[in-house]
Amino acid sequence: MPEQFYWGLEAAFNGLMTGVLYALVALGFVLIYKASGIFNYAQGVMALFAAMTLVGIMEGQVPFSHLINATFGTEVHHFGWHLPAVLGILLTVGVMILFAWVVQKVVFKHLIGQEPIILFMATIGLAYFMEGLGDLMWGSDIKTLKVGLPQGTNMWLDETTYRLFGYGFFINNLDIVATVIAIALVAALVMFSQYTKQGRAMRAVADDHQAALSVGINLNFIWVLVWSLAGFVALVAGVMWGASSGVQFSLSLIALKALPVLMLGGFTSIPGAIVGGLIIGVGEKLFEFIVGPMVGGATENWFAYVLALIFLVFRPQGLFGDKIIERV
Amino acid sequence: MNMTAQDDGYITADGRKIGPVMMEMKNITLRFGGVKAITDISFDIREGEIRAIIGPNGAGKSSMLNVISGFYVPQEGEVWYKGAKRPPMKPFQVARQGIARTFQNIALFEGMSVLDNVMTGRLNYMKTNMFQQGLWFGKAQREEVENRESVEKIIDFLEIQSIRKTPVSRLPYGLKKRVELARALAAEPTLLLLDEPMAGMNVEEKEDMSRFILDVNDEFGTTIALIEHDMGVVMDLSDRVVVMDYGKKIGDGSPDEVRNNQDVIDAYLGVAHD
Ligand SMILES: Nc1ncnc2c1ncn2[C@@H]1O[C@H](COP(=O)(O)OP(=O)(O)OP(=O)(O)O)[C@@H](O)[C@H]1O
Ligand SMILES: [Mg+2]
């Protein structure tokens, strides 16, 4: 086998991790969109906010310390503790649930029955608000996230593949762990929506609000639930991204990459979000590897969008999305 | 038939026992902007009764059903249920009080199978928490089996076994109406509200549906309020009839009384004569 082939394969593997991240963010979009018809622009910022909160809690940072110090002339910054990752994650999940509840209570409860574009605008507002809130609570500096995920090249894979093919694959441990976690998360979500009372109610709400009400489902509760789930998915995405590149503003921009993923996978399909994420993650790495050198590189910036555009033309409902049939 | 308001009910001509008043609407007025959909209407529904609401198009019948089920909130008037005044309630809260309904325009979960649709009717009977369910613990499993059994009974009862696994979106109109009834019945309601359960059906389907409605009332003792345009069906099925026209009540009584009421005859112009 030519070296070129192995390099390409390696590039594809490395794209998996990015793909998993895209998929997770897209998954958050799908959850909320299916249940409420809201296109949540803030999903990426939620990932950033969740990761910042996790770091802040684990490091024992005092939230709003800048504000507190400026107002009262105090000098508080740290509680002086370091929490283990598990506890930090649990507390952050709590924060995300609280956030979901507040968003529903303060914003979307008052916008029931409004046009989708108005709901969308509300989420843009929400995104900028959260960005500011995150900075105000935890400071805007770049943070490192240490939750004990393994880093570095997987030596075992490197050596094994070298022995087998004469070429050692460089695969990052973090990529492997992230992929496994993402698979587990999706499996758990599917189990939840298929076999639990709340999951069934969630599917019912996603299908028909009126019918859901008539069988006694509390829509508000379900909406808080899906925002909480989306918050949890955002946290997982934030942790993975944060562990590999640090917790910083660029994290919120992966949400923009989730858009083409949704075009590919369909806005209402959970498997679509996963497959779409992986296709784009792997596709853009491969494309950069193969075509990049010919056109001077930097294809990763636009590849996803062009692919999505092509999809829009030929299959507007995406790979797995519900077929759009205009009723006349 | 004796219609006087004896508080503990009466016995019908065919020997069914009708109980005391279960639901009472007092001076209900409902407006949409300038449109008055319901004007100062009062009537009651007794336990075990089949109560029909009739009237020409746009009379406000569906609006009344929506008020009972909490989908519309009237500007004036009171709703009394089981002897107590009902505070303002969301539709899901009304449903949890044992009031199930179907819709004039059918509201099913189109993406689900017939079985899954009917199962949603039992959501409020599922008590174990989500972690037990997620892990499929003994209690959750038993609960699931029990709910499945009662759903299967209803599916047998309405004779839709053969389409159990069919996605609802593929069913013809008449069967969809039946599935919607099945879902409402799965909740084991004390009061069942049916908005035009036979609309768009052929004669044979209508006969089936009439039989089901009578059987539900007879076998489960379910109180039923239904809206229907087919006069023959209404006269056959119902114990008492409320007649609405332009948002006002113009008649209330046994099918015979209503049939001979001059206001009703005028509103329907001959339909009541057959
Ligand atoms: N959600 C709504 N918004 C505005 N107007 C409404 C609404 N629902 C009903 N109406 C109006 O209230 C009046 C009564 O309508 P309703 O649907 O209750 O009549 P109906 O007796 O059920 O008629 P049909 O036999 O055609 O079903 C109509 O004028 C209708 O346009
Ligand atoms: Mg109607």
Q: Probe ligand 1: pick from B61, B65, B227, max atoms within 8 Å of CB?
A: B61
H-helix or E-strand spanning residue B240:
strand B240-245
pLDDT the model gives residue B47: 96
* Strand pairing category for B76-81 and B84-85: antiparallel
State percent of chain B over pLDDT 70: 92
Per the CB < 8 A criterion, the answer to whether A196 and B130 are in contact is yes
pLDDT at B6 over 70: no
Per DSSP (E only), the strands in B33-131 are 35-46, 50-54, 76-81, 84-85, 99-101
pLDDT the model gives residue A7: 85
A-chain CB neighbours of B133 within 8 Å are: 195-197
Distance CA A133, CA A219 (A): 28
C-alpha angle B105/B109/B113, rounded to 5°? Answer: 125
B104 C-beta closer than 6 A to ligand 1: yes
Chain centre distance of CA A291:
28
Q: Judge: A192–B134 Cβ closer than 8 Å, yes or no.
A: yes
CATH topology of domain B1-98+191-216+224-274: Rossmann fold (3.40.50)
Distance B240 CA to ligand 1 centre (A): 23
Partner residue facing B130 (CB), from A198, A203, A219: A198
Q: Judge: B109–A204 Cβ closer than 8 Å, yes or no.
A: yes
Most confident of B98-107, B228-237, B259-268: B98-107
Of all ligands present, the nearest one to the C-alpha of B56 is 1
Which atom from ligand 1 is nearest to the alpha carbon of B104?
27
Strand partners, B253: B241
pLDDT the model gives residue A245: 80
B-chain CB neighbours of A218 within 8 Å are: 90, 92
pLDDT the model gives residue A327: 52
pLDDT at B273 over 70: no
Strand partners, B167: B113
Q: Closest-CA residue in chain B for A215?
A: B121
pLDDT the model gives residue B272: 44
Query: What is the average per-residue pLDDT within B92-115?
Result: 96
Q: Where are the domains positioned within chain A? A: 3-314
pLDDT the model gives residue B136: 61
Compute the nearest-CA separation of B107 from chain A (Å). 5
B55 C-beta closer than 6 A to ligand 1: yes
Compute the nearest-CA separation of B184 from chain A (Å). 7
Between the CA of residue B93 and those of B70, B90, B109, B121, B124, what are the distances in Å?
Answer: 8, 5, 20, 14, 11
CATH topology of domain A3-314: ABC transporter involved in vitamin B12 uptake, BtuC (1.10.3470)
Query: What is the average per-residue pLDDT within B48-70?
Result: 96
- Higher-pLDDT residue of A147, B78: B78
Q: Which residues make up the CATH 3.40.50.300 domain(s) of chain B?
A: 1-98+191-216+224-274, 107-188
Question: Which of the residues in chain A have pLDDT under 50?
Answer: none
Pick among 3.60.10.10, 3.40.50.300, 3.90.700.10, 3.40.50.1480: CATH of B107-188:
3.40.50.300
Per the CB < 8 A criterion, the answer to whether A116 and A140 are in contact is no
Between the CA of residue A251 and those of A15, A87, A257, what are the distances in Å?
Answer: 17, 23, 11
Per the CB < 8 A criterion, the answer to whether B38 and B60 are in contact is yes
pTM greater than 0.90 (yes/no) = no
pLDDT band at B196 (very low <50, low <70, confident <90, very high): very high
H-helix or E-strand spanning residue A256:
helix A254-265
B39 C-beta closer than 6 A to ligand 1: no
pLDDT band at B12 (very low <50, low <70, confident <90, very high): confident
Per the CB < 8 A criterion, the answer to whether B244 and B60 are in contact is yes
pLDDT the model gives residue A317: 78
C-alpha angle A304/A310/A315, rounded to 5°? Answer: 115
Backbone angles phi, psi at A141, to 5 degrees: -70, 155
Compute the nearest-CA separation of B167 from chain A (Å). 13
DSSP A300: G
Q: Judge: A215–B121 Cβ closer than 8 Å, yes or no.
A: yes
3-state secondary structure of B24: strand
Per the CB < 8 A criterion, the answer to whether A239 and A93 are in contact is no
pLDDT band at B215 (very low <50, low <70, confident <90, very high): very high
Q: Judge: B123–A215 Cβ closer than 8 Å, yes or no.
A: yes
Which pair of structure tokens corresponds to residue B129?
A: 């928490």
pLDDT the model gives residue A323: 62
pLDDT at B7 over 80: no
Longest dimension (CA), chain B: 64
Over residues A93-106, the pLDDT tens digits come to 999 999 999 999 99
pLDDT the model gives residue B174: 92
Distance CA A87, CA A93 (A): 10
pLDDT at B5 over 60: no
Distance CA B220, CA B150 (A): 13
Interface A-B: count of C-beta contacts within 8 A = 83
Please tell me the number of Cα atoms within 13 Å of B48 on its side-chain side.
Answer: 14
pLDDT the model gives residue B250: 94
